[in-house]
Amino acid sequence: MDTPVLLAIAAGGIGLLLLLIIRFKIQPFVALLVTSIVVGLAAGIPLNTIPATEDAPERLGIVPAMIAGMGGTLGSVAILVALGAMLGRMIEISGGAASLAGRFTGWLGPKRVSAALTGAALVLAIPVFFDVGFIILVPIIYGFAKAAGVEPVKFGLPMAGIMLAVHVAVPPHPGIVGGAALVGADIGWITIIGLAVSIPLGVLAHFVAKWMNRRNYTMIRATAEQFAAFGSTNERGEAGAAGGTTGGGGATDGSGASRTRTATRTVTEAPPSVWTVLTLILVPLLLIMSGTVAATVLPAGDPLRDLFAFIGAPAFALLVALALAFYLLAIRRGWSLAHTGEVMEAALPPVAIVILVTGAGGVFARILTESGVGTALAETLAATGLPVLVLAFVLSLVLRASQGSATVAILTTSGLLATTVIDGDYGTIQVALIALAIAFGALGLSHVNDSGFWVVTRYLGLSVSDGLRTWTVLTTILGVVGFLLVSLLWLLVGSA
């Protein structure tokens, strides 16, 4: 199918999706699935899978492609979201989030909290994948927002922005590492320059988000209810949060009475210390970091590297943190096993929609990939004769916008430009700058076909239209400025 037709189909699909969600108020999960089917049919994706032959690879049918997109996304997101939600709920119900937020607000003052959190997010994002780090920090964002009397988007937006910037540009994250290998870039120079550029981007994220947050955004209902209940320590709210409700007359069965007594006890007990809460947050991050460092410094096949890869896996790291929370926040503080189980179980329903919508975003991205939109557009741009640095940025940005995944955009662009870069007369630093131009292209234009868009907007309570006004604009500004800083360095290196 011709490139203009494919582009028209992709643009029409995104327009249909926005129309269904914004104008007709269709639930995003359903709207994403419907739009995926429409785009798949229009783009000529077969109804059933066509097996591979000697002359052509296998072509997935529409429904198998949708299932693959859902499974691929949920495989990396569902476990992390569920474990992170349970960990956050235990910190919240114990009073730990409010305690931590209150202490830090007292130390820093309300005017400096956002800047301090953004700086902390930049550091934490280096060893931890974007979605994992953001999910771990959600209860902290909520707790600080509660303490400051603001909505979570005030603190969460700049934190998410800088975390994504670090994710695309700083090793050991997979996109930039894989892209560097394809174009032959030096990882050391990429790390140094990527971090150097990320620091001013962190400052920029803080001020751009502050400017965006001059207006108030109406929180979507599900997030508003979740945020309103966050940190609730009254008897009725605690009992309800634990998975049961007591009518106006109170509980009439043994388990209900037990929940009420437990809830009452939770009100009177002192919240956990700040250091206990910090331990629960930092332990999974340190475990993940250990796996990252081991993969960098130890040779492949080393048993110690394999061990650290196991304990540094995000799912395992969160399980360890949850086990620590089970002991430190529940058992040691006198919670019954039944109540602890109820608190953990109550964390899952509110995040179910986050998981499903994120998975549906993966479905739409997979359909766009199967349609060939990104490949056709990339090949067209590659023939324009643009300077290599500009081409690297534009190609990556277009691929990011067309199929959603920043990692895929980086790897695809690097593959398309690999021969040009390797055969070109470029110095070591220049090749690193080309790789970073690709990375910052993949930072921009995060929108409805990006699963990260749904994670950020659902947790911060932004509607689709508000997410496009804030998150999409913020990521694009950070990507463009990151590219401009890389371009400045390119000019300095060329003139040296």
Q: What is the pLDDT of residues 315-333, one digit of tens each?
A: 898 899 999 999 999 998 8
pTM: 0.70
pLDDT (mean) for 30-41: 91
Examine the pLDDT at 111 and tell me if it is beyond 90: no
Total residues belonging to the chain: 496
Please tell me which residue, 431 or 110, carries the higher pLDDT value.
431
What is the structure's pLDDT at 264? 37
Q: What percent of the chain has pLDDT over 70?
A: 87
Q: What average pLDDT does the structure give for the chain?
A: 82
pLDDT category at 240 given cuts 50, 70, 90 is: very low
Task: Output the DSSP codes for 16-75.
Answer: HHHIIIIIS---HHHHHHHHHHHHHHHTT--SSPBPP-SSS--B--HHHHHHHHHHHHHH
Rounded distance between C-alpha atoms, residue 189 and residue 427, angstroms = 12
Examine the pLDDT at 234 and tell me if it is beyond 70: no
Residue 46 has phi, psi (to 5 degrees) of: -60, 155
Task: Output the DSSP codes for 430-487.
Answer: HHHHHHHHHHHHTTS---TT-HHHHHHHHHHT--HHHHIIIIIHHHHHHHHHHHHHHH
At 228, list the tokens: 């309103």
Sign of the alpha-carbon torsion through 398, 399, 403, 408:
negative
Contact status, residue 149 vs residue 108, Cβ threshold 8 Å: no
Lowest-confidence range among 297-306, 399-408, 485-494? 399-408
At 390, list the tokens: 């500009």
Rounded distance between C-alpha atoms, residue 143 and residue 156, angstroms = 11
Lowest-confidence range among 1-5, 45-49, 193-197, 216-220? 1-5
Q: What is the pLDDT of residues 188-228, one digit of tens each?
A: 888 889 989 999 999 999 999 999 999 989 999 888 988 88
pLDDT category at 480 given cuts 50, 70, 90 is: very high
What are the Cα distances from residue 423, in Å, to 1, 17, 177, 183, 417? 31, 42, 20, 10, 10
Residue with tokens 């003052």: 109
Lowest-confidence range among 266-270, 310-314, 413-417? 266-270
Please tell me which residue, 481 or 171, carries the higher pLDDT value.
481
Neighbours of 420 (CB within 10 A): 15
What is the structure's pLDDT at 388? 87
Examine the pLDDT at 471 and tell me if it is beyond 80: yes
Examine the pLDDT at 32 and tell me if it is beyond 70: yes
What is the structure's pLDDT at 20? 87
